[in-house]
């Protein structure tokens, strides 16, 4: 197994966290989220993203509105809800703890 | 020539080659199956159809109104298998491995992923892009055209338009756009503490010299010195309490339970010990042979001056380490004798006084002189006995 495969389950677990983070920065289309992620190691596909966005909307962490775009039909424009923001904050705290733990383990 | 089947994706008709239609049909049926039980099934499917339609629109144009089979297949490879977000790791893992094992889909998806990043339209043209833009979407569009990050373009733009006073503005812009890196609380606390120390010393020096310069006669100067000393003591008390407060803050943030730089204390003690050992050895060799590490005493210099010199050197070397040790141990609770800075000069002064009285006694009191004369042979005897004891072991 090369290093990419070893980390694939971690990447999968982190996807929700990263999507929330992307949406928190700015209101985005699904295509924008994909574009941002595809520039990194966490590249993903529509087949994974759309169900995830639906789940987040069901949990009331994100919300969308239909926005007209010049080329083509109206699209969903996603933004973070206050509940989503709270959860992102908690997740970031937890993430910091994880980072610190990783840093300190094994150091004498 | 192949047959064409017209389908409807989100209200718009597309013409697909027959084989392409079959591939699409299979994909969507699979997706529907995977999403069975998902309350948002129809919505997700609508999103997926829309995404596929977008990909089709890329390959269509004025002279081409049919989507070829291989274009359908590459679009579907880009989409990837539909994974129910609620599914457990095993289901999605198996989906991943299946997509990995197919070399075609792997190559196609990686190839088409780069394609994805190009904006729609066959030829790359510069547009202003309103979505996610700040004002007119100019920077956004430039970024898309050149393939640079929008942030970089925006920053450059700001620099170009505001050359004068760009420092503060640039800072504010960077501060708001660039994510704040988390400075470790330790660094912040450490810097804050150092700043207060420096600040204190600086203030003290400035104030003192300022006062001295402005006063002309001796009595006024003496008065100023006295007042200044009083103020200094007050400041040092303030400083101590400030340091205590800072120390509490550090200890809160520090992950280790030891508090502050306490981890460094045994280290410095070790250095202390090492240096002391070195000095003892130097003294020993000096007394025994009159030579320290190959350097002999200058001609005519009595032995005791050499010893004193060694001790002074020792003090000087020890001073920074001792200061750090004090800092580590007490972390701001300096005992009233003035901490590491005061302590050093005190000890030097004490040493000087001791030497002076010694020399005076030696010079003016004959008995003392006699006794002192006895000392080197006694010392030699002591060292010899110690040496023989060591050799016997």
Predicted confidence (pLDDT) at residue B159 exceeds the cutoff of 80: no
| Residues of chain B contacting A12 with CB distance shorter than 8 Å | 89, 92
pTM exceeds 0.80 for this model:
no
A13 against B218, higher pLDDT: A13
pLDDT at B109: 36
- The most confident of the ranges A86-95, B158-167, B210-219, B296-305 is A86-95
Percent pLDDT > 90 in chain B is: 13
In 3D space, the residue among B333, B154, B373 whose CA is nearest the CA of residue B243 turns out to be B333
Given pLDDT bands bounded at 50, 70 and 90, which one contains residue A59? very high
pLDDT at residue B107 tops 50: no
Dihedral, B350, B351, B353, B358 alpha carbons, nearest 10: 140
Note whether B129 and B91 are within 8 A (CB).
no
For residue A16, what are its two tokens?
A: 């929700």
Cβ–Cβ under 8 Å, residues A51 and B79: no
Residues 6+ apart with CB under 8 A from B110: none
Q: Which residues contact B53 (CB under 8 A, 6 or more apart)?
A: B9, B10, B12, B14
Nearest Cα residue to B113 out of A100, A47, A34, A5: A34
Chain A partners within 8 Å of B254 (Cβ)? none
pLDDT at A56 (0 to 100): 94
In whole angstroms, give the CA distance from residue B303 to residue B284.
12
Q: What are the backbone dihedrals phi and psi of residue A69, each rounded to the nearest 5 degrees, phi first?
A: -125, 155
Q: How many domains does chain A have?
A: 1
Structure tokens belonging to residue B381: 């005897």
Kindly give the interhelix angle for A82-104 and A8-25, rounded to the nearest 10 degrees. Answer: 140
Neighbour-count burial for B345-357, b at 16+ CB within 10 Å, e otherwise: eeeeeeeeeebee
What's chain B's average pLDDT? Answer: 65
Name which of A47, A61, A63, A65 to mutate to probe chain B: the one with the most chain B Cβ atoms within 10 A of its Cβ.
Answer: A47
Tokens encoding B272 = 């202390």
Cβ within 8 Å, pair A47-B83? yes
Paired tokens of B209: 């010299």
- Dist. CA B352–CA B43, nearest whole Å: 90
Q: Which residue has the higher pLDDT, B349 or A35?
A: A35
pLDDT higher than threshold 90 for residue B69: yes
> Alpha carbon of B228 to those of A44, B225, B278, B344: distances in Å?
69, 5, 41, 21
Q: Write out the residue range of the structural domain in which residue A69 sits.
A: 3-104
Nearest to B80 among A28, A46, A69 (CB): A46
Shortest distance, CA B368 to any CA of chain A (angstroms): 56
DSSP SS3 for A93? helix
Q: With an 8 Å Cβ cutoff, are A48 and B83 in contact?
A: yes
> What is the torsional sign of CA B231, B233, B237, B243?
positive
Question: What is the DSSP secondary-structure string of B134-163?
Answer: SSSSHHHHHHHHHT--HHHHHHHHHHHH--
Query: Looking at chain B, which residue has its C-alpha nearest residue A21?
Result: B179
DSSP of B298-362: PTT--HHHHHHHHHHHHHHHHHHHHHHHHHHHHTT---TTTHHHHHHHHHHHHHHHHHHHHHHHH
A43 touches chain B (CB under 8 A): yes
What pLDDT shows up at residue B259? 38
Note the pLDDT tens digit of each residue in B367-387.
Answer: 666 666 666 667 777 777 787
Mutating which of B8, B36, B49, B51 best tests the A interface, going by the most A Cβ atoms within 10 A? B51
Residue B64 pairs in a beta bridge with B61
Each residue's pLDDT tens digit, B184-208: 333 333 333 344 445 556 655 666 5
CA B5 to chain CA centroid, nearest Å: 61
Q: What are phi and psi of A79, to 5 degrees?
A: -140, 165
Interface of B to A at Cβ within 8 Å reads 10-12, 31, 35, 38-40, 43-44, 47-48, 50-51, 54, 57, 78-86, 89, 92-93, 96, 109, 113, 116-117, 120, 130-132, 182, 255
Question: pLDDT higher for B254 or B307?
Answer: B307
Q: Give the pLDDT mean for B171-182.
A: 48
Q: How far apart are the first and last CA of chain A?
A: 30
Q: Closest to A100 (Cβ–Cβ): which among B47, B109, B255?
A: B255
Give rounded-to-5 percent helix, strand, coil for chain A: 60, 15, 25
Classified as helix, coil or strand, A40 is: coil
**Which pLDDT score, from 0 to 100, does residue B99 have?**
38
| Residue of higher predicted confidence among A102 and B98 | A102
Contact A47 B93 (CB under 8 A): no
| A78 touches B at CB < 8 Å | no
Per-residue confidence (pLDDT) for residue B75, from 0 to 100: 93
Nearest to B57 among A8, A45, A72 (CB): A72
Q: Which two tokens stand for residue B298?
A: 């200058």
Domain of A81, CATH number, reads 1.10.10.10
Domain chopping of chain B, boundaries: 4-117, 138-177, 185-253, 263-392
Alpha carbon distances (Å) from B295 to B91, B109, B175, B277, B306: 79, 76, 59, 18, 11
How many angstroms separate the most distant Cα atoms in chain B?
A: 128
Q: What angle do CA A98, A103, A108 make, to 5 degrees?
A: 130
Q: How do residues B85-94 score in pLDDT, each as one tens digit?
A: 765 433 343 3
| Contact flag B54-A31 (C-beta cutoff 8 Å) | yes
Burial B112-146 (b: 16+ CB within 10 A, else e): bbeebeebeeeeeeebebebeeeeebbbbbbbbee
Distance in Å, alpha carbon of A52 to nearest chain B alpha carbon: 5
Best CA proximity match to B359, nearest among B346, B348, B372: B372
Chain A residue with Cα closest to B80: A47
| Whether ipTM exceeds 0.85 | no
Strand partners, B14: B7
A44/B80 touch (CB, cutoff 8 Å), yes or no? yes
Judge: A58–B51 Cβ closer than 8 Å, yes or no: no
Q: Quick check: B220 pLDDT over 80?
A: no
Listed residue (B222, B198, B200) closest to B211, CA to CA = B222
Instruction: Tell me if A19 sits within 8 A of A33, measured CB to CB.
Output: yes
Residue A20's pLDDT band, with cuts at 50, 70 and 90, is very high
- Between B120 and B292, residue with greater pLDDT: B292
Q: Is the pLDDT of residue A64 over 90?
A: yes
pLDDT for residue B111 is more than 80: no
Test mutation, A23, A45, A52, A93, chain B, max B CBs within 10 A: A45
């Amino acid at each position: 197994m090369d290093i990419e495969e070893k980390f694939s389950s971690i990447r999968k677990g982190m996807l929700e966290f990263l999507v929330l983070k992307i949406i928190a920065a700015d209101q985005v289309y699904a295509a924008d989220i994909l574009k941002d992620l595809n520039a990194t190691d966490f590249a993903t596909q529509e087949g994974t993203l759309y169900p995830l966005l639906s789940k987040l909307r069901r949990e009331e962490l994100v919300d969308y509105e239909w926005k007209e775009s010049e080329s083509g039909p109206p699209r969903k424009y996603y933004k973070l809800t206050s509940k989503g923001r709270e959860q992102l904050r908690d997740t970031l705290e937890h993430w910091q703890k994880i980072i610190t733990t990783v840093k300190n383990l094994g150091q004498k | 020539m192949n047959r064409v089947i017209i389908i409807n994706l989100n209200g718009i008709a597309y013409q697909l080659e027959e084989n392409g239609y079959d591939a699409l049909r299979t994909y969507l049926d699979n997706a529907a199956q995977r999403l069975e039980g998902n309350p948002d099934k129809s919505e997700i499917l609508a999103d997926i159809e829309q995404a596929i339609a977008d990909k089709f629109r890329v390959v269509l144009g004025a002279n081409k109104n049919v989507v070829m089979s291989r274009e359908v297949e590459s679009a579907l490879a880009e989409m990837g298998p539909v994974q129910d977000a609620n599914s457990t790791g095993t289901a999605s893992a198996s989906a991943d491995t299946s997509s990995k094992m197919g070399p075609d889909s792997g190559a196609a998806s990686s190839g088409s992923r780069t394609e994805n990043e190009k904006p729609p339209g066959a030829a790359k043209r510069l547009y202003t892009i309103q979505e996610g833009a700040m004002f007119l979407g100019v920077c956004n569009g430039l970024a898309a055209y050149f393939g640079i990050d929008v942030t970089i373009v925006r920053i450059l733009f700001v620099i170009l338009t505001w050359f004068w006073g760009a420092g503060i503005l640039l800072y504010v812009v960077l501060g708001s756009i660039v994510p704040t890196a988390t400075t470790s609380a330790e660094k912040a606390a450490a810097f804050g503490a150092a700043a207060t120390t420096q600040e204190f010393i600086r203030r003290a020096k400035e104030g003192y010299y300022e006062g001295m310069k402005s006063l002309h006669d001796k009595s006024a100067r003496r008065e100023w010195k006295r007042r200044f000393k009083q103020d200094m003591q007050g400041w040092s008390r303030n400083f101590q309490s400030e340091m205590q407060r800072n120390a509490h803050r550090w200890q809160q943030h520090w992950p280790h339970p030891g508090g502050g730089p306490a981890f460094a204390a045994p280290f410095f003690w070790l250095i202390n010990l090492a240096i002391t050992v070195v000095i003892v050895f130097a003294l020993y060799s000096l007394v025994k042979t009159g030579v320290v590490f190959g350097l002999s005493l200058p001609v005519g210099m009595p032995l005791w001056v050499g010893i004193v010199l060694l001790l002074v050197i020792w003090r000087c070397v020890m001073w920074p380490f001792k200061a750090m040790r004090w800092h580590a141990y007490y972390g701001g609770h300096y005992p009233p004798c003035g901490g590491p800075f005061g302590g050093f000069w005190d000890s030097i002064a004490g040493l000087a006084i001791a030497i002076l009285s010694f020399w005076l006694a030696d010079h003016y009191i004959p008995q003392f002189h006699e006794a002192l004369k006895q000392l080197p042979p006694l010392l030699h005897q002591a060292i010899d006995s110690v040496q023989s004891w060591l050799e016997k072991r």
